[in-house]
Amino acid sequence: MHSTGLNTNQIMRQVIYALVLGVGASTLFFGWGILLQIVLGVISAVLVEAIFVALRGRNALESLSDGSAILTGILLAISIPSIAPWWLVVVGVAFAIIFGKQLYGGLGNNPFNPAMLGYGFLLISYPLQMTTWPVDFLSFSQAVDEVFNLANFDGISGATRLDDVKTGLSLGKDLAALQIHSTSQAWINAGFLLGGVYLLARKIIAWHIPVAFLSGILIMAILISVFDTQQHLPIQNHLMLGGTMLGAFFIATDPVSASTTPKGRLVYGFLIGVLIIIIRAYGGYPDGVAFAVLLMNMMVPLIDYYTQPKAFGQS
């Protein structure tokens, strides 16, 4: 499928570089908060990883050098609201690295995507903080004040777009009357999409998962809009809203927790897409990427087993 000529450390670094566009777009629309969260996420990831690896009697520096802890910190930091209190990302990252990775034996042995495990943990434990997003651009000082709880500004925060839409739709409001903020969301998603294309071009990820993931979303969204008379989010918004592109190119493609056979990756990606739409449309949570990925992580051994390619000479 791919041979990048890169080693594991370099691969992790490339993935981090590929996030720049999406993160940049997010900063452009919603301000400095996200960068603050990334800094917090990375610092706590490095510290937790170092301490825990040392406790396990392994070489902390060597483990840190693979960059996977930093990547987990960044992915979680950009998934949570940019104005979330500072301790949220710290708790989430610690959970992700300790329970998501190190307790299983470190990089390569974790069945779940650590960042998504951390995200799921936070969403269940702190639903309010996890769904309060800035509605407008925040200056650096505003972001610092919000994150470190120094002052509260009225009117700078609101629920997630998807949450808004969901509540609005359930209250019977007309879709057109709802503020979807689709432009900024689309730009951020486009940023992650471009980063993903870069990873594809560098052959760091294979096409199977993102393509199947997006087809899953598309097909399921069409099915729902055709067969369910209830009002739903327009199909194109599903693709460019929330964590869709981040999920398709950066989360679901985490090689450790994803399916590894060519056919299996198609099944895995597609079902994640389907689950996302089901959760968005009927679930209790506004976005479904994290839970869809975690659910499919559990299916990976089964998928891998039943999608083994036919070996040469085997009938």
Per CB under 8 A, residues contacting other proteins are 1-4, 6-11, 62, 66, 68, 106-109, 206, 255-256, 258, 260-262, 304, 308-315
Residues 6+ apart with CB under 8 A from 269: 208, 209, 210, 211, 212, 213, 215, 216, 248, 252
**Between residues 59 and 179, which has the closer beta carbon with respect to other proteins?**
59
User: In the complex, what is the shortest distance from the CB of residue 252 to other proteins, in angstroms, rounded to a whole number?
Assistant: 13
58 or 139, CB closer to other proteins?
58
Q: How far is the CB of 51 from other proteins (least distance, A)?
A: 19
- Taking the least distance from each CB to other proteins, the nearer of 11 and 123 is 11
**Between 289-306 and 262-282, two packed helices, what is the crossing angle to 10 degrees?**
150
| Nearest CB to other proteins, comparing residues 6 and 144 | 6
CA distance 246 to 209: 12
Contact 115, 107 (CB under 8 A): no
At a CB cut-off of 8 Å and minimum separation 6, what does 293 contact? Answer: 113, 116, 247, 251, 252, 257, 272
Which of residues 62 and 154 has its CB atom nearest to other proteins in the complex? 62
Provide, rounded to whole angstroms, the least separation between the CB of residue 208 and other proteins.
Answer: 10
**Length of the chain as a residue count:** 315
DSSP codes joined into one string, 216-260 = HHHHHHHHHHHH--S----HHHHHHSTTHHHIIIIITT-TTTS--
CB 301, min distance to other proteins, A: 10
In the complex, the smallest distance separating the C-beta of residue 196 from other proteins, rounded to whole angstroms, is: 16
